[in-house]
Chain A
Amino acid sequence: NAGVTQTPKFQVLKTGQSMTLQCAQDMNHNSMYWYRQDPGMGLRLIYYSASEGTTDKGEVPNGYNVSRLNKREFSLRLESAAPSQTSVYFCASSEEFWGGNYGYTFGSGTRLTVV
């Protein structure tokens, strides 16, 4: 019963390098999300995908791109990493019903440092 799996768990990048954070869920959820967590700013939504083939911007999308590869997988790409993107990144998924959802399930996070 894996839930939401994120890889890698830790990563150090040099400014300007690119990388992709991977996320997969095995709960057959329609919706998937990427958040970043920073001290004093809480969790902020970067991008989300309400269903396979759709993606939408969240609160802080600049500098990121996403791909909903299939129903299970939702990746986050940093094309040219900047020190301001040093953060902990969380992937989450949820299943909706009309007027709400059944709650969110989060992965264990990716700790990214950009030097």
Chain B
Amino acid sequence: KQEVTQIPAALSVPEGENLVLNCSFTDSAIYNLQWFRQDPGKGLTSLLLIQSSQREQTSGRLNASLDKSSGRSTLYIAASQPGDSATYLCAVMSGSRLTFGEGTQLTVNP
């Protein structure tokens, strides 16, 4: 059974700092990995999708990497802003299932 772990569970940083969120998964036979953002009381917004054949994806200040062999992904956020405050979820597609981690709650302080 696929298990996804996200570390840290919560992170508080000052505005402008570069930061890294970590995601690990137990079964490396994945189709893809997707990073989502969830604001309080809201739905999930897709940030980046990395297919199993890819090593990284970039969108603006966000960069996600994937190392299938070690079962790890990182989400790098450059020059963080208060508007980046949210919960970030990592989800892995394997078999016919999407398995989620429990998320990292990020607070960026002005």
Q: Which residues of A are at the interface with B, using a C-beta cutoff of 8 A?
A: 33, 40, 42-43, 45, 48, 50, 56, 58, 90, 92, 99-109, 111
From A48, A92, A105, B96 is in contact (CB under 8 Å) with: A48
> Can you give 10 contacting A-B residue pairs, CB < 8 Å?
A42-B100, A45-B98, A48-B96, A99-B31, A100-B52, A101-B32, A104-B98, A106-B36, A106-B45, A109-B43
Contact with A along B85-106 (1 / 0, CB 8 A): 0000101010011101111000
Q: Are A108 and B42 in contact (CB under 8 A)?
A: yes
Q: What class of interface size applies to chain B in its complex with A?
A: 20 to 34
Closest 4 pairs between A and B when the two form their complex, measured CB to CB: A100-B31, A108-B43, A103-B49, A106-B44
Q: Are B31 and A42 in contact (CB under 8 A)?
A: no
B81 CB within 8 Å of chain A: no
Interface of A, helix, strand, loop or mixed by DSSP: strand
Q: Which residues of B are at the interface with A, using a C-beta cutoff of 8 A?
A: 31-32, 34, 36, 41-46, 49, 51-52, 89, 91, 93, 96-98, 100-103
Q: Are B102 and A42 in contact (CB under 8 A)?
A: yes
Give 16 A-B pairs besides A92-B98, A103-B46 with Cβ atoms closer than 8 angstroms.
A33-B98, A42-B103, A58-B97, A99-B31, A100-B31, A100-B51, A101-B93, A104-B46, A104-B98, A105-B46, A106-B36, A106-B43, A106-B44, A106-B45, A109-B43, A111-B41
Q: Contacts of B45 on A, CB cut-off 8 Å?
A: 106
> Shortest beta-carbon distance, A35 to chain B, in Å?
8
